[in-house]
Structure 1
């Protein structure tokens, strides 16, 4: 299929040594021209960009090799830090699978992506009730934007799973494995085994 015939969107990628999960936030410092251009385009066109875990390479310099799954990021806030660099706060949205990649002249990695299905809004299953209690305890300690979530969120398998994946002390490779799972109950099963 030629690029002109594709219906999948093309996203500029911001490969990182961190996994951005749906609903989670990350702070970025942007200084490379390719990423400043990407942020400018996304702001001008009111769209997001893709964040993928780096499998091979670094966050600066030569384009890195990204994981096959990533998360669309939306810019929530930006400022210029004391270091003179652009500081962004981004939030994860929809998951995607990278189909093909190519590199723009300025070194920006572009990906043709296929969107993953949205998570179902299934309720927590009885076998995952412990996971909800663990999340409640964590949220009591960390507070912040997740303090006092509505009860409906605490009963939602997908939301509980993503927040645990975000807040538990997991390795980035473990978060990536969770990001690649389509079933919110399977994510909770995996984390329950890990905690046990």
Structure 2
């Protein structure tokens, strides 16, 4: 697959999959992740979130999936127990070439950024998925209120990549299925897979 050169990225393995463009809330209390947040604050860079294949979110470093998504910190605060809370958003996909563990237990990856194609026009066979997404977003509201009344949002509904990621975010698919979509470079193929999974559930 097309990738850019390796770059070092601190990793935050989780029992969930972060998708490009999707928000995610985190609670941070382990020293290694507090150090990670401080490092990101100094550098202005993000960190990587990967699905855990083996292990747990706390304690010994877990074994992460080979694909993940860069997380950008958008906001932070604290919960009623005084723990640091983060609101992050998924940005770029990456593939982990190798990992190492720092002295503080933080997992760091040498990652290769996936080459994204930009806006990819929706194909006719996927038009029903855009309609479904519009209906879902109309119900959930949130970041996408009055979807049908905003020209920018209507353009997003014509973008195969955006439609695929938002459906993967909102539909009841498994984290393993979301990981499979992360590994797929072709936005149309991602939509094909979503259709296949929906047909299997029908």
- Which category of TM-score, normalised to the shorter sequence, fits these structures? over 0.9
**Cα distance between partner residues in 1 of 2:69 and 2:121:** 23
In the alignment of these two chains, the number of paired residues is 190
Question: Bigger CA drift: 141-150 or 43-52?
Answer: 141-150
Counterpart in 2 of 1:164? 167
What CA distance in whole angstroms lies between the structure 1 residues aligned with 2:26 and 2:66? 21
Distance in 1 of aligned mates of 2:89 and 2:146: 20
Using the TM superposition, give the Cα deviation of residue 118 of structure 1 relative to its aligned residue in structure 2, in angstroms.
Answer: 1.4
The structure that is strand-richer by fraction is 2
> What is the CA distance between 1:119 and its match in structure 2?
3.4
**Aligned residue number for residue 194 of structure 1:** 197
SS at structure 2 position matched to 1:155:
coil
- Once the two structures are TM-superposed, the CA of residue 75 in structure 1 deviates from its matched residue by 0.2
1:129 alignment partner in structure 2? 127
Counterparts of 2:120 and 2:72, CA distance in 1: 25
Normalising by structure 2, what TM-score? 0.92
Choose from 17, 20, 39 the match for 1:19: 17
2:171 corresponds to 1:173: no
- For 1:93-172, list aligned pairs within 5 A: 93-149=91-147, 150-172=153-175
- Give the whole-Å Cα distance in 1 for the aligned partners of 2:191 and 2:185: 12
* Aligned: 1:41 with 2:44: no
Separation in 1, partners of 2:117, 2:90: 14
Alpha-carbon distance in 2 for matches of 1:119, 1:37:
34
Please give the per-residue CA displacement for 1:93-118, whole angstroms capped at 9, x wherever unaligned. 00000000000000000000001011
RMSD value, Cα: 0.8
Structure 1 ranges of 4+ moved more than 6 A = none
Distance 1:138 1:145 in 2: 12
Structure 1 residue 50: Cα displacement? 0.3
Gaps of 5+ in 2: 148-152
Gaps of 5+ in 1: 1-6
Determine helix, strand or coil for the equivalent of 2:143. helix
Measured in 1, the distance between the counterparts of 2:24 and 2:100 equals 25
How far apart, in 2, do the equivalents of 1:16 and 1:119 lie?
Answer: 27
For normalisation by structure 1, the TM-score amounts to 0.95
Q: Note the C-alpha offset of 1:176.
A: 0.4
